[in-house]
Amino acid sequence: MHDFSHNLWQKRLELLKILYNIEEIKGKFIFQKTIFILKYFGIKNLNYNFQRHEFGPYSFELENEIVFFEKKNFINIENYYNKNRIIANKEKIENYFNRKGYSLRLNSEEGMAICKTEDLFNNELKELKSIELTASMLQLINEGKYNLKKEIIKELRKWKPCIFSEKDIEKIWNLLFSKKIIPEILRNLNLLLEIKPGEKEAHKYHKLISKIIAYIFRKSFRNMEFERGIHKGRKYIDTIYTNSAQTGFFKNLPEKNNIIICNYVIMEAKNYSYDPENPEFDQLASRLNKKVGNFGILVFRKVKNKKIILERCQSYLDDDKYIIFLSDDDIIELVELSRLGLDAEINDYIDNKFKSLIFRS
């Protein structure tokens, strides 16, 4: 096995180690889904390419590995009653690893991934249909383009029309959500959109939107702080982020505009069913100064009159205070760009907001 490329060598070693520690997998279907979910849970060396297939995510490369391992006697495939079991030849694997000086011990990441996967299969996903639905949903999440529950379900329906019932889909979504298998950013985004505008859930909205913005700008912001008291505690700032940008918009903002101070980014969050009015803009503007910084972000739910909102932002320019706004729609789009790793597009998005602010019509 020493004659293949370094990357393939790493993957095969990792795969053999996983098979050794799991010992037995009930069939090629379960094998495909097990490796897919282990990769999803973070075993980086299981870098097999999975694509959409009739029965969920599938890797042709992984199918070839099974043939290779069986030929080399690292595994045995037992067939009975039209079913098969993949059983690790532990002695053969041990001898090979010992001869090459490789360890069969799992690291903490690998052990945790196997525990999570076995917990799912043993306690929650006992039917093949549930396993297929779970893996298919995680495949769509992995693709990065679908971030809202409704988007994921719609795409799932296109991929597998009429296979799964609404009840089945809801059950698996809730399972993945409750076990925190769905990424935190998607849990936060979907929870955010369930929040009803109004004072009752304003604090919940503030907490969630602050975390989401920290995720979107995680390469530029750090050290997020909620409800920072000012003026001896008589007032407070909703959220402060330290600007640590090494590239992009938030690095260029103070460097190319010598009147803009942006060591910290000030954010105010308004869980309103209507457009914020002058008092809300005045509140944010009053937090901006040369010591703290004169760039702020006002976030709220929906924009009903973009022209008036923009004019309110521009009314503070003569005082050298720079305010941009973000709505739910902006947040949804920015999360997608961030999950896809499109950093340049995120910077362009915010730059366009800034250009709309300073180029008054």
Q: Where are the chain's structural domains?
A: 6-186, 197-358
- pLDDT, position 2: 46
φ/ψ of 350, rounded to 5, equals -75, -35
Asked whether the predicted pLDDT for residue 149 surpasses 80, the reply is yes
User: Which amino acid appears at position 222 of this protein?
Assistant: R
| Rounded Cα–Cα distance for residues 35 and 69 (Å) | 15
- pLDDT, position 1: 44
State the pairing for strand pair 295-300/264-270: parallel
User: Read out DSSP for 289-301?
Assistant: BTTTBSEEEEEES
pLDDT digits (tens, 9 = 90+) for 313-341: 999 999 999 999 999 999 999 999 999 99
pLDDT digits (tens, 9 = 90+) for 55-107: 999 999 999 999 999 999 999 988 765 577 899 999 999 999 999 889 999 99
φ/ψ of 195, rounded to 5, equals -70, 130
Asked whether the predicted pLDDT for residue 15 surpasses 70, the reply is yes
Tokens of 68: 């290779």
> Where are any strands of DSSP class E within the chain?
24-25, 75-80, 83-88, 221-230, 235-243, 264-270, 295-300, 322-326
Neighbours of 204 (CB within 10 A): 15
Contacts 24+ apart (CB under 8 A), 157-162: 159/52, 160/136
From the list 339, 345, 298, the residue with the least C-alpha distance to 188 is 339
**Which single residue is written with the structure tokens 């009752």?**
200
pLDDT digits (tens, 9 = 90+) for 238-278: 899 999 999 999 999 998 888 899 999 999 999 998 999 99
| Rounded Cα–Cα distance for residues 43 and 213 (Å) | 28
From the list 137, 163, 122, the residue with the least C-alpha distance to 36 is 137
What's the longest Cα–Cα distance across the chain?
Answer: 80
Among 1-5, 81-85, 303-307, which range has the highest average pLDDT?
303-307
Q: What is the mean pLDDT of residues 214-231?
A: 84
- pLDDT, position 192: 97
- pLDDT, position 291: 83
- pLDDT, position 230: 55
Contact 314, 307 (CB under 8 A): no
- pLDDT, position 45: 86
- pLDDT, position 4: 45
Residue 148: CA count within 13 A, CB half-sphere: 12
* Least confident interval from 174-178, 230-234, 252-256, 267-271: 230-234
Residue 318 DSSP label: G
Tokens of 307: 């022209």
Asked whether the predicted pLDDT for residue 360 surpasses 80, the reply is no
- pLDDT, position 202: 94
Helix (H) or strand (E) holding 348: helix 343-358
Contacts for 167 with CB less than 8 Å, ≥ 6 apart: none
Instruction: For residue 26, name the pLDDT band (cuts at 50, 70, 90).
Output: confident
144 class by beta-carbon count within 10 Å (0-12 exposed, 13-18 middle, 19+ buried): middle
307 class by beta-carbon count within 10 Å (0-12 exposed, 13-18 middle, 19+ buried): exposed
From the list 311, 254, 260, the residue with the least C-alpha distance to 281 is 311
7 vs 10: which has the higher pLDDT: 10
- pLDDT, position 34: 94
Phi-psi region of 233 (alpha: psi -120 to 50; beta: other; left: phi over 0): left
Q: What is the mean pLDDT of residues 222-233?
A: 70
- pLDDT, position 62: 93
- pLDDT, position 256: 86
- pLDDT, position 57: 96
**Which single residue is written with the structure tokens 């991929």?**
159
CATH 3.40.1350.10 fits 197-358, yes or no: yes
130 vs 291: which has the higher pLDDT: 130
Q: What is the mean pLDDT of residues 294-318?
A: 95
